[in-house]
Amino acid sequence: MFRLCAAVLLVLVAAAGITRWIKASDHKDSALLAADHAADIADVYTFRSPVQPDNVVLVMTVSGFIPPSEASTTFFDPTVLYQWKIDNNGDAVEDVVIQAFVTGTGGHQVMHFRGPAPASQIGATSRVIEGPETATVPVSNGATPMIASRSGMTVFAGVRDDPFFFDLVQFKKIIAGEAAAFRNPGIDSFAGTNVLAIAVELPSARLGGPRLGVWGTTSRQQF
């Protein structure tokens, strides 16, 4: 079972032979992207499985700040292609990708996964990988998660509590010069809000290297 709320490892970046952990959040964007909730990435998480050390877990969250009253009526957009791009040799270019997209509408959506496999095109232009799907799973619209496994890869997609913890009130005080540090303990400004989450767990060896650079993208693609 994916423990989205316990994820603390955000993005693993490999550069010049040195592995670094980068922590960041992307909950606020330009007005144009913020208006496109289905394609607006909130966070990308990459971490080693807490129960199977040889596995890596990849999580992407989109459509941030979903209030509880809208959790059961907010859905993935079938015209958006969600991707994890993975660099396994330190050149900051994707070597393999994992793609996800939904079919269906309302509470009857199914998330389809392809990869890991070499990208049809690298860079900003994206195409769906040719070939069979790696896995599919019904989208979870309620508290009980629906999870599917196939060929050693486990997948999930659905509404979940936003796992990113951030004390926005104190952050604004720091920016305004009214405070010098965050509170301890902090107060989670995102508590009670939800996101649409997509998660994949698979053997890290399938991604091609012990040091991985991982980033997420969304794009609109004609399927």
| 163 phi/psi in degrees, rounded to 5 | -80, -10
Q: Respond yes or no on whether the N-terminal peptide bond of residue 50 is cis (omega within 30° of 0).
A: no
Give the pLDDT score at 31.
55
- Amino acid identity for residue 73 in this structure: T
User: At 131, is the secondary structure helix, strand, or coil?
Assistant: coil
- Per-residue pLDDT tens for 130-144? 888 999 999 999 889
Range from 31-45, 150-164, 205-219 carrying the lowest mean pLDDT: 31-45
User: Which residues share a beta bridge with 57?
Assistant: 47, 201
Is residue 179 exposed (0-12), middle (13-18) or buried (19+ Cβ within 10 Å)?
Answer: middle
Give 30's contacts (C-beta < 8 A, 6+ positions apart): none
- Per-residue pLDDT tens for 162-207? 988 889 999 999 999 999 999 999 999 888 899 999 999 999 999 9
HSE, CB side, 13 Å, CA atoms: give it for residue 144: 0
The pairing of strands 18-22 and 41-48 is unpaired
Tokens representing residue 113 in the block: 């996964």
User: At 80, is the secondary structure helix, strand, or coil?
Assistant: strand
Give the pLDDT score at 142.
87
207 compared with 125, residue with greater pLDDT: 207
Please give the distance of CA 76 from its chain centroid, rounded to a whole number.
13
Tokens representing residue 13 in the block: 């970046």
41 pLDDT exceeds 50? yes
Report the alpha-carbon distance of residue 89 to residue 11 in Å, rounded.
Answer: 16
> What are the CA-CA distances from residue 106 to residues 76, 136, 184 (Å)?
9, 17, 41
43 compared with 3, residue with greater pLDDT: 43
Question: Per-residue pLDDT averaged across 73-82, rounded?
Answer: 94
- Amino acid identity for residue 53 in this structure: P
User: At 56, is the secondary structure helix, strand, or coil?
Assistant: strand
Tokens representing residue 58 in the block: 């990849």
